[in-house]
Structure 1
Amino acid sequence: MTPLETEITALKKELVSMWMLVQSQMNKAKEALITFDKDLAREVLIKEKRVNSFELKIDRDCENIFALYCPVAVDLRFLLAALKINTNLERIGDIAAGIALYVVEAKENFDAKKLESTQLLRMYDESVNILIDTRMAFEKEDTALARSIFKRDDVLDEINEKAPVAIAELIRADLNSLPEALYILSIIRKLERVGDQAKNIAEEIIFYVEAKILKHQESGKRKLEGEE
C-alpha cells in the first residue's frame, strides 16, 4: 500500500467514525424526545463538541493529503467528496443537537399520540435508516444503494408537506397544546433536512465512485417536465 493509499484509508475510517457518532446523536435525541429525558438530551448537546472536533480534524487531514500528495483521478474525487460529506455530517449533528435542545427547553413531556398522529416517529426512524444506509453505501462504494436514497427521501418530504395540516388539527383540538405542537413542527422540519443532507452525501458517493456529477440534475429535470 502506498503512503497515499494509507492516508486515504485512514481518512475513510475517520469519516465512518464520525458517521457513527452522528448516528448515535440522532438516536439519543430520539430517545430523549420519547422518554423526556433531559439529562440524555444534555448529553447530546455536550457531545456536539465532539462532532465539531471531528469535522475540523477531517478538514485538516484532507488539506494535508492535498498538500503532500497532489492526488489525481479517483483519489482526488474521494478527497473532494470527503470534504463535502464531512460538512453534511456535521450539519446532521447540529440537527440532533437542535432536537435535544427542544427536549431541554420543553416544560412538559411530549404526548406519544401526538408524535404518532403527526408521523414524527415514522419520519425519525426513516431519517436514521437513511443515514445508516448512506454510511453502508460509502463503506461498500455501493452506488445502487446511494441512488436508493433519493427515492426514500420522498417519504420525508411527504410527511413534511402534510405537517402543517396535522399540526393545525392538534391546535384546534386543544389550544393548550400550542407550544408542544410548534416543537413537533420544528422537529419535523429538522428531520426533513436530514433527508436533504443524506441526498447530498449520496451524490458525493456517486461522484467519487463513478465520476458522475448529479447535483442540480433532478431539479433541472423537474423544471423541464413542468414546462412540458
Structure 2
Amino acid sequence: MKHTEQEMIHLKEEVKRMWQLVLSQLEKARQAFLTHDSDVAREVISREKRVDVYELKIESDCENYIALYSPVAVDLRLTLSLMKICNTLERIGDFAAGIALHVLDDDCQGIPDSLVEKLEMEQMFDVLQGMLSDCYVALENENTKLTGRILSRDNEVNAIYHTAPKVLSEFMAEHPEHIYCGLKLLLLIRKLERIGDHCSNIVEEIVFYVDAKVLKHSKNQNG
C-alpha cells in the first residue's frame, strides 16, 4: 500500500471517530433536554473540548496531506470535503453543547413538558439524529443515493421550526411569567434548525466528493 493511501485511510478514520463523538453528543443533548438530566448535560459540555481537538487535528492533517502529496481529482475532492465536513461537525458539536447549557439554566426549569410536545421537539431531535447518521452512511459507502432523503428531512425540520413562533407566542400570552424562558426556548429550536442546515451542508460535500457535482445553488433554488 502506498504511503499516500495509508495517510488517506488515517484521515478517514479520524473523521469517523469525530463523527461518532458528535453523534453521541447530539444523542446525549437530546436525552438531557427531554429528561431534564443535568448530569448528562454536564457530560456533553465536558466532552465538547474533544470535538474541538478533533477538528483542529483533522484540519491540520488535511492541509499537510495537500502540501506533501499534491492530490488531484477524486483524492483532492475527498481531502477538501473532509476538511469542510469536520468543520461542520464541530459546529454541530457546539449546538449540542448549547442545548446542554440550556438544560442547566436554572431560570428555565418551569417550562411544562406539554409545551415541548406541542413544539414537536422530540420529533425534531429524532429527524436530526437520523440525518446525521445517514450522512455518515453515505460517506462511508460513497453512496449519494441517500442524499435526496436527507435533504427532504431538512424540510421536515424547517416545517417544525416555522410553526414554533406561533405556538410559543400563544403559550407566552397565556403564561406571561414564562416569556423569558419561552424566548430562550425559541433560540434553542433555532439551534436545532441550524443542525439540519449543517447536515445538508455535509450532503453537499459528499456529493462534491463522490459525484464531482456542486449542489449548493440548486438546493437553494429548490427552497
- Range class of TM-score, shorter chain: over 0.9
Corresponding residue SS for 1:213: coil
Match of 1:8 in 2: 8
Match of 1:136 in 2: 137
Report percent identity of matched pairs: 45
Q: Does 1:164 align with 2:165?
A: yes
Q: Superposed, which structure 2 residues align to 1:4-153 within 5 Å? A: 4-107=4-107, 108=109, 110-153=111-154
Q: For this pair of structures, how many residues does the alignment match? A: 222
Match of 2:209 in 1: 208
Following TM superposition, by how much is the alpha carbon of 1:2 offset from its aligned partner in structure 2, in angstroms?
1.6
Q: TM-score, normalised by structure 1?
A: 0.93
The CA deviation string for residues 54-78 of structure 1, in whole angstroms up to 9 with x for no partner, is: 0000011101111211111100000
Moved more, 154-163 or 170-179: 170-179
Does the Cα contact within 8 Å between 1:203 and 1:213 map onto a contact in 2? yes
Does the Cα contact within 8 Å between 1:34 and 1:110 map onto a contact in 2? no
C-alpha distance in 2 between matches for 1:18 and 1:46: 15
Following TM superposition, by how much is the alpha carbon of 1:187 offset from its aligned partner in structure 2, in angstroms?
1.6
- Over aligned residue pairs, what C-alpha RMSD do you find? 1.4
Give the gaps of 5 or more residues in structure 2: none
Q: TM-score, normalised by structure 2?
A: 0.95
Following TM superposition, by how much is the alpha carbon of 1:221 offset from its aligned partner in structure 2, in angstroms?
5.5
**In structure 2, what residue type is equivalent to 1:176?**
E
**In structure 1, what residue type is equivalent to 2:189?**
I
Does the Cα contact within 8 Å between 2:34 and 2:122 map onto a contact in 1? no
Corresponding residue SS for 1:216: helix
Give the gaps of 5 or more residues in structure 1: 223-228
C-alpha distance in 2 between matches for 1:24 and 1:110: 25
Does the Cα contact within 8 Å between 2:111 and 2:178 map onto a contact in 1? no
Following TM superposition, by how much is the alpha carbon of 1:36 offset from its aligned partner in structure 2, in angstroms?
1.4
* Structure 1 runs of 4+ with >6 Å offset: none
